[in-house]
Amino acid sequence: MAGRPMRDVILDEATELFARFGFEGTSLNDIAAGVGIKRPSVLHYFPSKDALYGEVFERMLSDWLECVEASMKSPGRGWERFSAVLLSGFDLFCANPSYVRLMRREAIEGGDRLGIDLVGVVAPFFEAAVNWLEEEMVAGHFRKVDARQLLVTAYATLLGYVSDAPFINGLLIDDALAPEMLVARRDHLLELFHRILVADVDAPLTILGA
């Protein structure tokens, strides 16, 4: 943590604790202790726990939506673009499991804590993705499937693997988030959605940048 701004260090610790124990189960004293400072020092940077939670969530959403926007602007059509979006989300969530647990907590609890409208933030991106998928289906690049259900499946598949990793460890008898397991999971997701979407199942499984 040497050299990092204290504000960022506090945000990192708060993200981890809020993800593990929830908003109610985390105190400013817990966050301060995790960083190695006193509670008043936390309040020097953030006026309240509510304000700190709001910034944690804002940073998480910013990172995620920036990732989605960048991948949606990737070149190519059909499978190439879909796989780019899928993999960018997979990589972000696997690199930031606390983001996943925090998002899952908010989704379960209604997603409106402290006025944070999770659905309102995500819905425009969801609708844009639905429209794009349906256009690709009409163009013949994808099989005709329910675009909304497909996206919900992708969401649940990506987040569930990371958020439930401790449970999945026991099923796989291995560390679900170990590098070699993530490679296997990545390859499986690509094959799964390729089979769902691509009309010619024998078409090469091309990946942008691969």
Residue 139 contacts by C-beta under 8 Å, 6 or more apart in sequence?
Answer: 77, 78
CA-closest candidate to residue 18, choices 45, 65, 42, 54: 54
pLDDT tens over the chain, length 210 residues: 457 899 999 999 999 999 999 889 999 999 999 999 999 999 999 999 999 999 998 898 888 888 878 877 777 789 999 999 899 999 999 999 998 998 888 777 765 666 677 788 889 989 999 999 999 999 999 999 999 999 999 999 999 999 999 999 999 999 999 999 999 999 999 999 999 999 665 555 555 555
- Chain centre distance of CA 91: 9
Question: What gap in Å lies between CA 85 and CA 13, rounded to an integer?
Answer: 28
Closest by Cα among 160, 20, 81 to 31: 20
- The answer to whether the beta carbons of residues 161 and 98 sit under 8 Å apart is no
- Give the Cα separation of 37 and 16 in Å (integer): 16
State whether the Cα torsion 129-67-185-15 is positive or negative. Answer: negative
Count of C-beta atoms within a 10 Å radius of residue 128: 13
Residue ranges of domains in the chain, CATH in brackets: 1-47 (1.10.10.60), 58-197 (1.10.357.10)
- Other beta carbons less than 10 A from residue 40's beta carbon: 9
Residue ranges in 22-164 assigned as alpha helix (H): 28-35, 39-45, 49-72, 78-95, 97-108, 118-138, 147-163
| Residue-level pLDDT at 113 | 64
Q: Specify the pTM.
A: 0.81
Residue 10: the pLDDT is 97
**What pLDDT score does 200 carry?**
67
Question: CA-CA distance, 155 to 17, in Å (whole number)?
Answer: 23
